[in-house]
Amino acid sequence: MNEFHQKIQTDHLTRNAYLYIRQSTLRQVFENTESTKRQYALKEKMVALGWSLEQIIVIDSDLGQSGSSSVDREGFKTLVTEVGMGKAGIVVGLEVSRLARNSSDWHRLLEICALTNTLILDEDGIYDPGYFNDRLLLGLKGTMSEAELHVLKSRLQGGIFAKATRGELKTPLPVGFVYQQNGKVILDPDQQIQKCIHLFFEVFQKSGSACGVVKYFSQNGLKFPRKLRKGINKGEVIWGELVHSRTLQILHNPRYAGAFFYGRVKSRKLVDGTTKYEKIPPEQWHSLLKDSHPSYITWEDYEKNTRRLTENAQAFGLDRKMSPPREGSALLQGIVVCGVCGLRMSVRYHTSAGKTFPDYMCQRNGIEHGNKICQGINGEGIDESLGLLLMEVVSPMALEVALSVENEIKTRAEEVDGLRKQQVERARYETDLAKRRYLLVDPQNRLVADSLEADWNEKLRILAEAQEEYQRKCKSDCKILSKDERNSILALASDFPRLWRNPNTPIREKKRMVRLLVEDVTLIKDREITAHVRFKGGRLQSIKIPMPIRAPQLFKTSEAIVSQVDRLMEKYTDSEIADILNQSGKKSGRNNPFNATIVANIRRTYNLESLYERLRRKNLLTLTEMTQKLPVSRHTWKKWAKKNLIKSYRYNDKNERLYQWSGNELVVKIENEKQQGRSKEFIKLLSNHINGVQYEA
């Protein structure tokens, strides 16, 4: 105790005492209560050393947290902060392993305690990190604590691997399986769960796709079981909507084929304390034991299912932003964003008249939940409009403006670069100063030498960070163009349209040009297609694109030709109109020469009056109606029409005619025929007329 009081100074007693309490797991907190009691009992020891109860601050927020890292240990971070601010006179822990089981965290705490003259107390004694012997002992304890954790972890891992090799390791089971009391795996006794999973695999066998399974369950309103992996209801089965990602997990899980596996995922710690998980190929798994427990499908079916999923995949993984340009004709592949939901749109192709055209589809949510796709847009008009926009944007005037802006950016960049250089120079000066201080100190005076060495190392670190930041910023700044580069860019403005229109330019190279100029394109389909084009540098330009013409409208006869057919129908038959149109070089909606059938179809489609209807509207009569007015044979009427005694008009391509009734004018013509003695029939008609036969005028 006297040794304790020799290290405890008045300055230490004026500051607070921090008691840090930690247990590695929640299970230890509830079961190893004696260790927790011993840690709290250290408050009495601090009171005996001279601190009042008001000065003793207990930090126990890390109960149930591992000491292998400071990540997620808010209590330890608070402790380090308080020590660094000079508020702590002493840090108390039952043993070093309670404070940290990681050498980097432990030595960082020691460095801060030494700089702020903070003591450290454990069950064995009190230490001053500023003294070499105490510092050496504390460092050794920290190393032993970390080594102890490594040994414990190695032992546990060895046991896990041994059990996994025999297939006896208990791992979380997917829904549909449960453990018996003896540890064996059996099918879930719940018959509803079994039937649901059997139905799942039957539907996949019939549909052949994970999306088909999702649609089947969604359309039929079926729920699918799922096990809760965490929380107070961990292990409980709940029922909900089947989604696409869950479907793939089940199809790729060997457990449903009755196989035990271990080591499918490899994990490693990152610098920021997070854990990265990576799937590895089956041949690299630690264990794979087939037919180790009852199954829903055979191993052969499992391999067929995984092989079918691989064959179904057009690309592995989700649509990636800025994926490499491929051979397809879609210019905007990988840079199209849906203006409705904000997700990235994928590309699909369709063939028409022997040509391939792109379609931009927003279908991820639809596939995930078995619903309709968000929107699908024909990409032919979009790609064409984007090409015209790029040829308009890449103009000499636009490039001149860009180069003038570049001059201003150059001036500002030089000013900022000067400030960054000054920061690096200041860091270099402080590093040199710390170095000179360290070299001037007596090497035997380790208390001062260690502190100066730590300060020098810290300055070196700051200098390295400043230099790295300076280099990074220089690379990210706008590049200053030389005179030759400026001339090359201006020449590009005149070469770009020619290069873009050249049919020999590969589509992949066009995509690369688009990537150099365009950041992304957002599409919205309504009565027309709106494309918001975001160029490199932040400029935004919107263009309106008409909706693609549908097939019936695409082959529709032009309004000018329809109007011409309507005018010609006053005098000509269908075949005559077709000949007139062909002589003038006109073509039908399908780019074919005209014929009588096409003209008749146009007439019926647009409700045009036929030549027959137009002539009838002019009071022309049929042959039957003419015989009713004047009882002569049909042959006689035709003869009169040939001799121009009456007027007749052809109304179709069969040479069928309509006749114009002329009344008394016809009688006069008949009298003339009598005088000439050309027809007995005319004489008879004239006699009847003389005898009082009346004719309609």
Residues acting as catalytic residues = 24
For residue 645, give both structure tokens.
Answer: 């005694």
Query: 256 and 250 in contact (C-beta within 8 Å)?
Result: yes
**How many other CB atoms sit within 10 Å of the CB of residue 105?**
22
CB 193 within 8 A of CB 205: no
* DSSP bridge pairs for 227: 237
Q: Would you tell me how many other CB atoms lie within 10 Å of the CB of residue 575?
A: 16
The owner of tokens 């636009």 is 398
Phi, psi for residue 693 in degrees, rounded to 5: -70, 125
CA–CA distance, 623 with 661 (Å, rounded to integer)? 11
Q: Do 332 and 521 meet the contact criterion of CB atoms below 8 Å apart?
A: yes
Strand order in the sheet with 540-545: 336-338, 518-525, 529-535, 540-545
Helix (H) or strand (E) holding 261: strand 260-262
Across the strands, what pairs with 140? Answer: none
4 close to 49: Cβ distance less than 8 angstroms:
yes
Q: How many CB atoms lie within 10 A of CB 661?
A: 18
- Residue 359, classified by CB atoms within 10 Å of its CB into exposed (0-12), middle (13-18) or buried (19+), is middle
Q: What is the dihedral of CA 571, 576, 582, 586, to 10 degrees?
A: 40
What count of residues does the chain have? Answer: 697
